[in-house]
Amino acid sequence: MKRKSDTISFVGLGYVGLCTATVMASKGLRIIGVDVDEKRIEQLRRGQPPFHEPQLQPLLKAAIRKKRMEFTTDASQLAEANSIFITVGTPTNPDGSIDLTYVKKATQDVGSAIAGSPSYHLIVIKSTVTPGTTADVVRPVLEASSEKNCGPDLGLCSNPEFLAEGSAIKGTLSPDKIVIGSIDAKSGGALTKLYRRIHQKIKVPTILTDPTTAETIKYASNAFLATRVSTINTIANICQRVPNSDVETVAKAIGLDPRIGSLYLKAGPGYGGSCFHKDLQALINYSQNKNYDPILFRATEETNEQQATRVVGMAEKLLGSLSFNNSSIISFLIAILCLLV
């Protein structure tokens, strides 16, 4: 039987929860993974990830074979671990803000599970939440449901995730940084120690800060990357109007400047995926509620929306009318077009 400190619980086994948990299991920790989706739990018990991610399946299967990962819908089992990660989704509300229903429910489940436990528990918010959420929303829900006060007996950290789909395992095994926003030194120390254990052989730059700054770092990071994408697409649209001007050469040359760097400088149909648009919308809504209009990020989003339409227009010019209503064919054509231009 492993010690509590060797056991880590996860609430929410989606992209972030499952990839992080599997990497931790590969480093010798025991994982208890909880999800409300029974079908997903059944699938995971058979070693089947619910999505494709390079390297995930073999690591998952190996961890199950070594009895390092257990999956359940029973949230009361969370208390078997000292460290409990909340990795549930934070979808977008119609006004752009994030829906905290899952985070609040998961926090309540964690609080109820650890209520009455004499052990120290560290709760880690890995879901992407707007600045202030850990301190102002999670903390009161956690304290009420656990009947404990955050402090010497109950730790709380914000620990945003920066993985990219497609390189999630690689990114989790050797992240470029770890951001820990803790409510006190004990919580921050406990999480730092856990990550040192996972990344024994590599030195990962670790930013220790307060929860609100940690939450802001996550949004700043995605806002910056999304703005780069919209910037190079703007340059590409200008190049298209200038005879003999080649955006790829422009991107290659400016990327050699160490102040700029070469990543996220590929002109194309704009950003998609599950995070940039969602996080930009949340940051815009959050800023506007604080009486600040982030004009730059609104322009980033508008440029991105126009870019998709522009690329379809280019495809139409090359291939004739695309009046059929089949988004998968359109996506396919856009992908081909991106390879061509």
Ligand X SMILES: NC(=O)c1ccc[n+]([C@@H]2O[C@H](COP(=O)([O-])OP(=O)(O)OC[C@H]3O[C@@H](n4cnc5c(N)ncnc54)[C@H](O)[C@@H]3O)[C@@H](O)[C@H]2O)c1
**Residues near ligand X, by CB under 6 A:** 11-17, 34-37, 40, 87-90, 102, 105-106, 109, 127-128, 161, 163, 165, 274-275
Which of these, 139, 158, 157, lies nearest to 148 by C-alpha position? 139
The angle subtended at Cα 304 by Cα 298 and Cα 305, nearest 5°, is 90
**Is 88 in contact with 11 (CB distance < 8 Å)?**
yes
DSSP 8-state secondary structure symbol assigned to residue 98: B
Residues ≥6 apart with Cβ < 8 Å to 244:
none
At closest approach, how far in Å is the CB of 212 from ligand X? Answer: 16
Catalytic residue among 19, 157, 275, 338: 275
Is residue 275 flagged as an active site residue?
Answer: yes
CA dist., res. 284 & res. 301, Å (int): 10
Which of these, 136, 113, 114, 112, lies nearest to 125 by C-alpha position? 136
Six token digits for residue 136: 């102002």
At closest approach, how far in Å is the CB of 78 from ligand X? Answer: 9
Residue 17 vs 175, nearer CB to ligand X:
17
Residue 168 vs 247, nearer CB to ligand X:
168
Sheet holding 30-34, edge to edge: 69-72, 30-34, 7-11, 83-86, 121-125, 154-158, 178-182, 206-209
Residue 30 vs 40, nearer CB to ligand X:
40
At closest approach, how far in Å is the CB of 340 from ligand X? Answer: 28
At closest approach, how far in Å is the CB of 35 from ligand X? Answer: 4
The single-letter code of the amino acid at 221 is: S
Residue 123 vs 314, nearer CB to ligand X:
123
Six token digits for residue 51: 């999505």
At closest approach, how far in Å is the CB of 314 from ligand X? Answer: 28
* β 154-158/178-182 pair status: antiparallel
Residue 31 vs 314, nearer CB to ligand X:
31
Residue nearest ligand X by beta-carbon distance: 14
Name the residues annotated as catalytic.
275
